[in-house]
């Protein structure tokens, strides 16, 4: 296996791109003050397979990580929590995502309900098996985060918690004002992280508010959880600086608006259609403009089951 190395993005911050099953790749960020924190832990195995060797290359080991700052509770961001907890780290997560740290069954039940809304019950056994492979054992949370909290790592490294719901209820960004760095996790989705795929938005009604809060800090650089795409399909991250920061927020808002309007039109045109039929109408209306491509297994674009039922619910509210 090829060694995965740190990319230094600041004197105190290292980025670690960590691949996982299914063609995914998540970025972890190691921040060094007097204490050492890592934003997100990847999936089960990420800390041992990728983080430990990268830390060793800079003279550290897993046991030197004092804190895991989860940006939110999805499996590719907290699946490695148990390994870091066992090595001695404290786990921190926003209050509104606590259920995702406390119950793997919660992940499965949420996915099952979303797939059922699109008539995709047939793919749930494979999805459940996947979730159980990538989620480590439940270790809960040691520090419950709230909007406006400060995580003080010492040596003038102070991170402000900015609650930016939308991707999940408890999604947050970590704002290091002195450095102009905003670690966004998945709170700012642009056009999603998968080619031909969707954004992942669990709460469409509050996503614009989350974007506004993230943009309002006026960060010089965004450090994102994935290499989110632009309207042309090119990567806007995972590290975005200068004018690209503004562009990331604009693309994020534009796609959210387009998806919202597509569902409103689909319901108006076929009010008695099933949820799956309305979702397909909405996707078909956006397919060419946004280069959406269906997966053979579902008949919808990648990540659709994590997003479309939520826009459908919002449109029907």
pTM: 0.96
Report the pLDDT averaged over residues 111-122: 96
DSSP, collapsed to helix, strand or coil, labels residue 19 as strand
The count of structural domains within the chain is 1
pLDDT of residue 215: 98
Q: Is the peptide bond before 195 cis (omega within 30 degrees of 0)?
A: no
Residue 1 included in any domain: no
Contact 49, 3 (CB under 8 A): no
Q: At residue 244, does pLDDT exceed 80?
A: yes
**The predicted structure's pLDDT at residue 231:** 85
pLDDT of 2 higher than 90? no
pLDDT tens digit sequence for 270-307: 999 999 999 999 999 999 999 999 999 999 999 999 99
Integer CA distances (angstroms), 234 to 194, 196, 238, 251, in order? 11, 11, 12, 12
Quick check: is 236 in a domain? yes
In a domain, 63, yes or no: yes
Task: Take residue 108 and report the two structure tokens written for it.
Answer: 């499965």
Phi, psi of 198 (to 5 degrees): -105, 165
Mean pLDDT of 208-224: 98
Give me the mean pLDDT over the 41-58 stretch.
97
For residue 275, being part of any structural domain is answered with: yes
Residue 208 lies in a domain: yes
- Average pLDDT score over residue span 151-164: 98
Whether 291 is in a domain gets the answer: yes
Based on its alpha-carbon atoms, the radius of gyration of the chain, rounded to whole angstroms, reads: 19
Which residue, among 64, 105, 62, has the nearest Cα to 82 in the 3D structure?
Answer: 62
Taking 90 as the threshold, does the pLDDT of residue 3 lie above it? no
Q: Where are the alpha helices (DSSP H) in the chain?
A: 46, 52-57, 75-78, 81-86, 98-102, 104-117, 124-134, 207-216, 243-269, 275-290, 308-316
2 occurs within a structural domain: no
CATH code (residue 226) = 3.60.15.10
> Average pLDDT for residues 230-242, to the nearest whole number?
93
Domain that holds residue 148: 7-316
* Structure-token match 């993005």, residue found: 9
């Amino acid at each position: 296996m090829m060694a995965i190395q740190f990319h230094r993005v600041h004197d105190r911050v290292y980025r670690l791109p960590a691949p996982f099953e299914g063609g995914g790749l998540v970025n972890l960020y190691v921040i060094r003050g007097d204490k050492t924190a890592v934003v997100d832990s990847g999936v089960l195995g990420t800390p041992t397979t990728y983080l430990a060797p990268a830390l060793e290359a800079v003279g550290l080991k897993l046991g030197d990580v004092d804190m895991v700052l989860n940006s939110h509770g999805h499996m590719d961001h907290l699946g490695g929590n148990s390994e870091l907890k066992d090595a001695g780290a404290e786990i921190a997560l926003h209050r509104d995502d606590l259920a995702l740290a406390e119950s793997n069954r919660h992940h499965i039940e949420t996915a099952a309900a979303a797939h059922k809304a699109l008539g995709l019950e047939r793919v749930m056994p494979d999805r459940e098996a996947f979730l159980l492979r990538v989620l480590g054992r439940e270790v809960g949370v040691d520090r419950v985060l709230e909007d406006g909290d400060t995580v003080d790592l010492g040596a003038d490294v102070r991170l402000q918690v900015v609650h930016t719901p939308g991707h999940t209820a408890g999604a947050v960004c970590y704002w290091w004002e002195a450095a102009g760095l905003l670690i966004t996790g998945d709170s700012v989705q642009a056009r999603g992280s998968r080619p031909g795929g969707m954004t992942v938005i669990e709460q469409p009604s509050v996503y614009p508010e989350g974007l506004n809060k993230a943009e309002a800090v006026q960060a010089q650089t965004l450090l994102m959880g994935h290499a989110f795409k632009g309207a042309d399909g090119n990567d806007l991250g995972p590290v975005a600086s200068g004018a690209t920061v503004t562009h990331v927020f604009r693309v994020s808002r534009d796609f959210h608006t387009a998806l919202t309007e597509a569902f409103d039109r689909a319901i108006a045109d076929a009010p008695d259609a099933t949820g799956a039929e309305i979702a397909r109408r909405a996707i078909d209306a956006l397919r060419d403009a946004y280069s959406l491509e269906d997966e053979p297994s579902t008949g919808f674009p990648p990540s659709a089951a994590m997003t479309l039922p939520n826009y459908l619910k919002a449109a029907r509210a």
